[in-house]
């Protein structure tokens, strides 16, 4: 089964830029599911690029650092085609103190994957270099809330589900010619890099979104538009999703304790996880954590 780089969420049939660069590979996640659906040639091109990268196996080390004294500092933070996963949006909103409507309106372009699931793309500045809107001469102005793609670089993460639905992952080193960070002396393994960049929670939650896309891919049909709208609310508009849950009394129809219900209402990360569970239950008829009341 083909693999998926986890940092740019793209479905099997999604269009990929014709010229795939190393930085693209660091931001792309191509979720590849074994179905009868034809594979998009552009997706095959990106897959071939990922396969050409050197794999970093568990325990193997690499050297890398990025800081203002590195000659190419900030060079990679421009001209990006960067989708944002739901948890990326949640963390960026917190860092910017913005509600979902403000953040989506100011900082994203709204689209859909070929499987019908919604995706938000980060808007670059309109200047000739199309820099990231959060870039400053001193570096990233939203560094504590930066996206999974930015945290993962210079690694690329590839994931697949086995026949039992278990997630299997690989890591690759995305080494661009201009990047001087590889000349630094800091030693890392994939595990120490993930811990240092606080990626464990990002990957866990982003993998849950990928699981839903995998389920949809297996149906052989794109998500209905009304369901895509519901997913946008449940994943990307968590503040508004709280009002929906209350007005529609959604949780009253499920086997949940009062403490569980309150946690969903009080904490947006918990609400996002509930959204993943609820959408899986509603669209695919089963979820391991939620049960409809008799």
pLDDT in tens, 76-133: 899 888 999 999 999 999 999 999 999 999 999 999 999 999 999 999 999 999 999 9
Split at pLDDT 50, 70, 90, the class of 34 is: very low
Element (H, E) at 127: none
Q: Is the pLDDT of residue 282 over 90?
A: yes
Mean per-residue pLDDT for 143-171? 89
Give me the percent of the chain exceeding a pLDDT of 70. Answer: 83
According to DSSP H, which parts of 118-236 are helical? 148-152, 190-196, 200-219, 225-236
Q: Is the pLDDT of residue 171 over 80?
A: yes
Please provide the average confidence, as pLDDT, over all residues in the chain.
85
Cα–Cα distance for residue pair 231/108, rounded to 1 Å? 17
Element (H, E) at 181: none
Cβ-contact 8, 29 below 8 angstroms? yes
According to DSSP H, which parts of 120-199 are helical? 148-152, 190-196
Structure tokens at 235: 């994943």
Mean per-residue pLDDT for 9-27? 33
Cα dihedral: 194, 196, 202, 206 (round 10): -20
Q: What is the predicted pLDDT for the residue at 2?
A: 30
pTM of the model: 0.84
Q: Is the pLDDT of residue 13 over 90?
A: no
Q: What is the predicted pLDDT for the residue at 231?
A: 98
Q: What is the predicted pLDDT for the residue at 26?
A: 39
Cβ-contact 229, 294 below 8 angstroms? no
Mean per-residue pLDDT for 157-166? 80
Q: What is the predicted pLDDT for the residue at 22?
A: 37
According to DSSP H, which parts of the chain are helical? 22-27, 41-52, 86-96, 100-107, 148-152, 190-196, 200-219, 225-236, 238-247, 258-266, 268-284
Cα–Cα distance for residue pair 184/72, rounded to 1 Å? 12
Split at pLDDT 50, 70, 90, the class of 165 is: confident
Q: Is the pLDDT of residue 1 over 60?
A: no
Split at pLDDT 50, 70, 90, the class of 8 is: very low
């Amino acid at each position: 089964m083909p693999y998926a780089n986890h940092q740019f969420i793209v479905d099997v049939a999604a269009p990929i830029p014709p010229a795939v660069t190393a930085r693209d590979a660091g931001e792309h996640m191509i979720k590849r599911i074994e179905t009868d659906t034809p594979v998009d040639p552009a997706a095959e091109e990106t897959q071939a690029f990922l396969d050409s990268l050197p794999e970093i196996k568990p325990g193997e080390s690499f050297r890398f650092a990025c800081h203002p004294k590195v000659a190419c500092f900030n060079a990679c933070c421009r001209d990006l085609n960067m989708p944002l996963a739901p948890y990326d949006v949640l963390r960026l909103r917190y860092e910017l103190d913005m509600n979902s409507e403000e953040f989506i309106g100011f900082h994203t372009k709204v689209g859909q994957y070929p499987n019908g699931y919604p995706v938000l793309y980060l808007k670059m500045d309109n200047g000739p270099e199309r820099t990231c809107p959060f870039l400053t001469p001193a570096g990233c102005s939203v560094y504590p809330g930066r996206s999974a793609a930015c945290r993962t670089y210079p690694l690329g993460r590839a994931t697949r589900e086995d026949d039992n639905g278990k997630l299997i992952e690989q890591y690759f080193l995305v080494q661009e010619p201009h990047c001087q960070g590889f000349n630094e002396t800091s030693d890392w393994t994939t595990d120490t890099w993930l811990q240092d960049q606080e990626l464990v929670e990002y990957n866990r939650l982003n993998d849950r979104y990928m699981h839903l896309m995998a389920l949809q891919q297996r149906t052989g049909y794109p998500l209905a538009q009304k369901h895509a709208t519901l997913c946008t609310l449940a994943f990307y508009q968590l503040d508004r999703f709280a009002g929906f849950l209350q007005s529609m009394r959604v949780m009253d129809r499920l086997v949940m304790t009062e403490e569980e219900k309150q946690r969903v209402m009080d904490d947006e990360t918990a609400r996002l996880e509930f959204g993943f569970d609820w959408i899986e239950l509603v669209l695919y008829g089963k979820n391991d954590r939620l049960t409809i009341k008799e």
